[in-house]
Chain A
Amino acid sequence: MIRFILLQNRQGKTRLAKYYVPLEESEKHKVEYEVHRLVVNRDPKFTNFVEFRTHKIIYRRYAGLFFSMCVDITDNELAYLECIHLFVEILDHFFSNVCELDLVFNFHKVYLILDEFILAGELQETSKKAIIERMGELEKQE
């Protein structure tokens, strides 16, 4: 199960944070700080997995942004690693060539996409087309 998802830039600014487990605000800040410190200095030649407390962070870097997912240590690491990539592909498709600024200014849309992609810490939909179409529907409603 995914415990939380973080999008952070190299400076450690958190651009998106989604928690599927109840954490206090102060704890969230601590987690974000620690996760950033954990992944930011890792060599690109290292694994994409790193232990974090009693869990595991699966992370991937896209330009200056780190996408990190905290999962159970028994979970299938590569499946979640590709889950990150699928998410990035969806964002890229939706924003046509996504960049950090898109995520900043359209944060609410990013949350909407995420809610269509992952729910309750589990994958909900793996079809890019289905999610993009659903976003079209949602945008029409506004």
Chain B
Amino acid sequence: MAMSGMRGLSVFISDIRNCQNKEQERLRVDKELGNIRNRFKNEKVGYIVTSCMLNENHDFLRLIINCVRNDIIGRNETFQCLALTMVGNIGGREFAESLAPDVQKLLISSSCRPLVRKKAALCLLRLYRKNPDVVNVDGWSDRMTQLLDERDLGVLTAVMSLLVALVSKNYDAYWGCLPKCVRILERLSRNQDIPQDYMYYGIPSPWLQVKTMRALQYFPTIEDPNIRRSLFEVLQRILMGTDIVKNVNKNNASHAVLFEALALVMHLDAEKEMMSQCVALLGKFIAVREPNIRYLGLENMTRMLMVIDVQDIIKKHQAQIITSLKDPDISIRRRALDLLYGMCDVTNAKDIVEELLQYLSTADFAMCEELALKAAILAEKFAPDLSWYVDVILQLIDKAGDFVSDDIWYRVVQFVTNNDDLQPYAAVKAREYLDKPALHETMVKVSAYILGEYSHLLARRPGCSPKEIFSVLHEKLPTVSISTIAILLSTYAKILMHTQPPDPELQDHIWAIFNKYESCIDAEIQQRAVEYFTLSKKGVALMDILAEMPKFPERQSALIKKAEDTEIDTAEQSAIKLRAQQQQHTSNALVVTDQRPANRSLPVKVPSINNNAEANTADRGLTEVNGTLSRVDPQSATPSADLLSDLLGPLAIEGPPSAAAPDDQNLISGLEGVSNSSDALALAPLEEQSNSVQPIGNIAERFRALCLKDSGVLYEDPYIQIGVKAEWQAHHGRLVLFLGNKNTSPLVSVQALILPPSHLKMELSLVPETIPPRAQVQCPLEVVNLRPSRDVAVLDFSYKFGTIMVNVKLRLPAVLNKFLQPISVAAEEFFPQWRSLSGPPLKLQEVVRGVKPLSLPEMANLFNSFQLMVTPGLDPNPNNLVASTTFYSESTRAMLCLIRVETDPSDRTQLRMTVASGDPLLTFELKEFIKEQLVSIPTPSPMPALAPPQVQPTIPATGATDPGAILAGLL
């Protein structure tokens, strides 16, 4: 093959050689160029050259958009293909804007060959990635659903890639595609009518299987039980049926499918059994020899940690994972490090961090920085006690000083400054390190800082007199850089200040040094030297000016932020990350499923506090704070809110809240059964206004999510996170409140009061008055439901942080639907029951208007989510919906409830609802409850809770009869 392509060339070369003179040679070359031109004289060459030579930012491309468009809409298939390929590979934003509709037309055209359509699908994908607005969701989602019926697997593969991109940004518009995807997956996994060309080593297109499962991971859940069941059957078969075989390619292909299936199972929150199957598989994989599989086992275990609570099982593999940390392949070592980092908690932090420290001495350069950062973060997050944390960081600096970023030592200084108990310990340690030979410069910095501040606490120990400390530090000065000298100068000034009565010899020595540096070439050093020299002559005034550094304001750890910020650049946002983010908003199961009683950790995803910028500047300020006085002290530069709240605090606390508090209670207990559902929506804002502490996330939104789930975050602000985990059984409930202190200093005067409505008996166990730094305490709360009611219990929670007093009133998710248990009732039972409960007050009917327009399946999902089990097909009219459930309370015991909803297909905003049960109060409450869920609630704006509390008194007057209207009015 190669030789035949070369004949022309050898002829050409011999011709050239035979040329007599330059002129002949030139003619021959021209002729050859002509030949070449003739051979490629069509548009094809134009396109090939364009796509090879130019990238999407080239100006030339803007000029040819019209030509390209003509080829796309033209009839010539060859040109269509060329144009689509070029746009698909290098098309930019401008192409997206002008070509998307034409490409869409080609994709759905019935007259084009599959060849053109699959190119159109991927070309559209490119354009969509460049500018998502070019695909208009309205019409297109139905088209996508139809496209998934495609028989040609090439087109289907391309369409599936397009779908992944579409659903990754907006799954809501593409629910219709979900059943189709499951069907495709079933077809592939059962090998039903798959053409031979699409079999790859006996596996029906592994790529299409992988893509399809990827698309499914972007849908938050699958509600339809039938679809869910079919999907789980497929996944079960993949999990069980994948064996290790000899053929490498077959093995890879089948495991590609298996790993994607694992990811999908994790995403779907499968039953416990299936989950443990997954963990077992991964446990097997991380122990195999085959490097690729081991790598993927480690990687997927890390991902698994992000979504579900499997730490305990994974811990069993700790030893195996540590072995992989020492693997010769850096790819595997990295994965092992990530996994160890992810699986670390209070129970194993010591082991893991020590393992990392040990490994640090032998690790290669490529990994050291990451290792150091991760060890520092783990030590900070899970320190069983803070002295251990200080030990770890100092060891880290000692062993790998070059890889310890400034952030790490700033952070340790911050901890030490904020914790009085820690200061003598840190000073002793710093002093010990100074005796070591060959000290890393970072160690000099951190020891100098700490000893400058706290060495006076050690004054009585041997070797710790001001003079001795000074001389051991001063020994290091000749070898360090300018930035360290600056810190040393500040330390000298501090030592001088602490030496009382003054030691004239030391004083002279230090003054001489200041004198010397007054003429330093570096302005910063010069300034410090001049200022310290002058100040130190002022005697007593020096004491004030150089007094101990005040506590740092709490802020997000710059380290954790740094670790989180490592950007990942992916075409589609990772499904797992999206999910983790959603969890953070709604449940954060990771936080609250942790059951260890003495858990001092706070495995909280660190919230994004919006003053990052300030935090950064403040951090940077640290190098200077110790000294130069002309500079703005970071303390005063940090949000003045603290100061303000200090000054204004008493006013705010004694003012509006106390006046408003009775209102709240009236609303809760007074207006029983009428408008309480709306109560606490407006409760939180009172506090937000009076305290300068802003909650993170939307309180109302969090409550709403918790009404449907049993664990999640109830409240969060920069200082505390309150999580809830609940278990319900019949009319009993057990809620556990997880109070997590996010700071490095304690929260004090913690108080939690429960304001229960009359139908709930609630008992809260003792809440400690102080929550230690970075600790989490658990407070169980027992609930008994006495009778049906929609009233809501409120938690009145307050704490003090520094001078800030925070008080919030939070609704607790012990709502009516928690005492429901879905029950399926067959037709032969249902109808007699329905008829026996005849008319009010046991059976109530109401026409509800202003319902949020939902399709029947959506409404069925909504009902199911509130434990009202919809039985399809029970009602002969397809527009009706019948549901049944059991309600538990002390007065009613287990009581069957039946619900029928008749919808009007021509007007989805109204419906007729009939509710029946054996208890009149229950019937009424349940009817109202369902109505509240159905009436149109506008999607909450970012801070809907900020409704001014003053509007409350007017509510009962305006719409006491219609809770829906009240709700709508409030939001």
The distance from the CB of B290 to the nearest CB of chain A, in whole angstroms, is 9
Are A76 and B200 within 8 A (Cβ)?
no
Are A47 and B291 within 8 A (Cβ)?
yes
Are A76 and B210 within 8 A (Cβ)?
yes
Q: Decide yes or no whether B576 CB sits under 8 A from chain A.
A: yes
The distance from the CB of A70 to the nearest CB of chain B, in whole angstroms, is 11
B81-114 contacts to A (CB < 8 Å):
84-85, 88-90, 92
Q: Decide yes or no whether A37 CB sits under 8 A from chain B.
A: no
Contact of B292 among A42, A77, A86 (CB under 8 A): A77
Separation of A49 and B291 alpha carbons in the complex (Å): 10
**B154-162, B462-470, B629-637, B806-814 - the one binding chain A:** B154-162
Q: Decide yes or no whether A54 CB sits under 8 A from chain B.
A: yes
Q: Decide yes or no whether A26 CB sits under 8 A from chain B.
A: no
Are A111 and B52 within 8 A (Cβ)?
yes
B245-267 contacts to A (CB < 8 Å):
249, 252-253, 255-256, 259-260
Among residues of B, the one whose C-beta sits closest to the C-beta of A75 is: B570
The distance from the CB of B106 to the nearest CB of chain A, in whole angstroms, is 13
Among residues of B, the one whose C-beta sits closest to the C-beta of A94 is: B1
Are B123 and A78 within 8 A (Cβ)?
no
Separation of A55 and B574 alpha carbons in the complex (Å): 13
Q: Decide yes or no whether A34 CB sits under 8 A from chain B.
A: no
Q: Told that A78-B256, A81-B292, A106-B5 touch, could you supply 15 new A-B pairs with CB distance under 8 A?
A: A72-B568, A74-B575, A75-B570, A78-B255, A78-B259, A78-B292, A82-B206, A82-B253, A105-B5, A115-B51, A115-B85, A121-B571, A124-B158, A126-B154, A128-B197
Q: Decide yes or no whether B19 CB sits under 8 A from chain A.
A: no
Contact of B296 among A77, A105, A106 (CB under 8 A): A77
The distance from the CB of A18 to the nearest CB of chain B, in whole angstroms, is 8
Are B200 and A86 within 8 A (Cβ)?
yes
Q: Can you list 24 A-B contacts with CB-CB less than 8 angstroms, sorted by A residue number?
A: A47-B292, A51-B334, A54-B568, A55-B569, A72-B568, A74-B575, A79-B206, A79-B207, A79-B210, A79-B260, A82-B206, A82-B252, A105-B5, A106-B5, A108-B48, A115-B85, A115-B89, A119-B85, A119-B89, A119-B123, A120-B123, A120-B125, A124-B154, A130-B154
Among residues of A, the one whose C-beta sits closest to the C-beta of B574 is: A74
* Interface bits B5-17 vs A (CB < 8 Å: 1, else 0): 1100000000000
Are B89 and A120 within 8 A (Cβ)?
yes
The distance from the CB of B622 to the nearest CB of chain A, in whole angstroms, is 29
Contact of A50 among B6, B56, B88, B330 (CB under 8 A): B330
Contact of B200 among A1, A73, A82, A122 (CB under 8 A): A82
Contact of B153 among A49, A76, A86, A127 (CB under 8 A): A127
Top 7 A-B pairs, shortest CB-CB distance: A1-B571, A78-B256, A127-B197, A72-B570, A22-B55, A120-B126, A122-B161
How many A residues, CB 8 Å from partner? 55
Separation of A50 and B333 alpha carbons in the complex (Å): 11
Are A43 and B255 within 8 A (Cβ)?
no
Are B5 and A126 within 8 A (Cβ)?
no
Are A119 and B154 within 8 A (Cβ)?
no
* Interface bits A100-128 vs B (CB < 8 Å: 1, else 0): 01100110100100010001111111111
Known: A95-B1, A128-B197. Is A120-B122 also a contact (CB below 8 A)? yes
B562-584 contacts to A (CB < 8 Å):
566-572, 574-576
Residues of A within 8 A of B214 (CB): 76
Residues of A within 8 A of B158 (CB): 119, 122-125
Q: Decide yes or no whether B611 CB sits under 8 A from chain A.
A: no
Q: Decide yes or no whether B608 CB sits under 8 A from chain A.
A: no
Residues of A within 8 A of B330 (CB): 50
Q: Decide yes or no whether B960 CB sits under 8 A from chain A.
A: no
Known: A46-B331, A81-B252, A82-B253. Is A126-B207 also a contact (CB below 8 A)? yes
The distance from the CB of B969 to the nearest CB of chain A, in whole angstroms, is 44
Residues of A within 8 A of B331 (CB): 46-47, 49-51
Q: Decide yes or no whether A14 CB sits under 8 A from chain B.
A: no
Separation of A59 and B157 alpha carbons in the complex (Å): 23
Q: Decide yes or no whether B208 CB sits under 8 A from chain A.
A: yes
The distance from the CB of A75 to the nearest CB of chain B, in whole angstroms, is 8
The distance from the CB of B784 to the nearest CB of chain A, in whole angstroms, is 47
Residues of B within 8 A of A19 (CB): 55
Are A105 and B123 within 8 A (Cβ)?
no
Known: A46-B328, A106-B5, A126-B200. Is A141-B126 also a contact (CB below 8 A)? no
Residues of A within 8 A of B961 (CB): none
Known: A120-B89, A120-B122. Is A129-B197 also a contact (CB below 8 A)? yes
Separation of A129 and B196 alpha carbons in the complex (Å): 10
Residues of B within 8 A of A49 (CB): 292, 295, 331
Q: Decide yes or no whether B320 CB sits under 8 A from chain A.
A: no
Contact of B157 among A81, A124, A128 (CB under 8 A): A124
Interface positions of A (Cβ within 8 A of B): 1, 18-20, 22-24, 42-43, 45-51, 54-55, 72-79, 81-83, 85-86, 95-96, 99, 101-102, 105-106, 108, 111, 115, 119-130, 134, 141
Contact of A54 among B249, B567, B571 (CB under 8 A): B567
Are A123 and B332 within 8 A (Cβ)?
no
Are A20 and B153 within 8 A (Cβ)?
no
Are A54 and B569 within 8 A (Cβ)?
yes
Separation of A18 and B129 alpha carbons in the complex (Å): 19
Are B122 and A122 within 8 A (Cβ)?
yes
Separation of A23 and B252 alpha carbons in the complex (Å): 31
Separation of A130 and B205 alpha carbons in the complex (Å): 14
Q: Decide yes or no whether B57 CB sits under 8 A from chain A.
A: yes
Residues of B within 8 A of A24 (CB): 55
Are B255 and A111 within 8 A (Cβ)?
no
* Interface bits B185-226 vs A (CB < 8 Å: 1, else 0): 000000000010110100001111010001000000000000
Contact of B122 among A50, A79, A105, A124 (CB under 8 A): A124
Separation of A126 and B153 alpha carbons in the complex (Å): 8
Contact of A125 among B51, B88, B154, B329 (CB under 8 A): B154
Residues of B within 8 A of A75 (CB): 570
Known: A127-B153, A134-B115. Is A76-B256 also a contact (CB below 8 A)? yes
Separation of A102 and B3 alpha carbons in the complex (Å): 9
Are B119 and A124 within 8 A (Cβ)?
yes
Are A23 and B55 within 8 A (Cβ)?
yes
Known: A47-B329, A76-B259, A85-B249. Is A119-B122 also a contact (CB below 8 A)? yes
Known: A123-B207, A124-B157. Is A73-B291 also a contact (CB below 8 A)? no
Separation of A130 and B113 alpha carbons in the complex (Å): 13
Are B295 and A119 within 8 A (Cβ)?
no
The distance from the CB of B401 to the nearest CB of chain A, in whole angstroms, is 25
Residues of A within 8 A of B569 (CB): 54-55, 72
The distance from the CB of B634 to the nearest CB of chain A, in whole angstroms, is 32
Q: Decide yes or no whether B78 CB sits under 8 A from chain A.
A: yes
Q: Decide yes or no whether B540 CB sits under 8 A from chain A.
A: no
The distance from the CB of B829 to the nearest CB of chain A, in whole angstroms, is 48
Residues of A within 8 A of B571 (CB): 1, 72, 121
Among residues of B, the one whose C-beta sits closest to the C-beta of A80 is: B256
B877-934 contacts to A (CB < 8 Å):
none
Are B88 and A130 within 8 A (Cβ)?
no
Are B57 and A22 within 8 A (Cβ)?
yes
The distance from the CB of A5 to the nearest CB of chain B, in whole angstroms, is 11
Separation of A115 and B370 alpha carbons in the complex (Å): 39
Q: Decide yes or no whether B494 CB sits under 8 A from chain A.
A: no
Separation of A102 and B332 alpha carbons in the complex (Å): 35
**Which of B255, B260, B331 has most A Cβ within 10 Å?**
B331
Residues of B within 8 A of A83 (CB): 207
Residues of B within 8 A of A99 (CB): 2
Q: Decide yes or no whether B498 CB sits under 8 A from chain A.
A: no
Separation of A86 and B294 alpha carbons in the complex (Å): 23
The distance from the CB of B590 to the nearest CB of chain A, in whole angstroms, is 20
B537-578 contacts to A (CB < 8 Å):
566-572, 574-576
Residues of B within 8 A of A55 (CB): 569
Q: Decide yes or no whether B118 CB sits under 8 A from chain A.
A: yes
The distance from the CB of B306 to the nearest CB of chain A, in whole angstroms, is 12
Separation of A47 and B291 alpha carbons in the complex (Å): 5
Among residues of B, the one whose C-beta sits closest to the C-beta of A53 is: B569
Among residues of B, the one whose C-beta sits closest to the C-beta of A112 is: B48
Separation of A3 and B206 alpha carbons in the complex (Å): 21
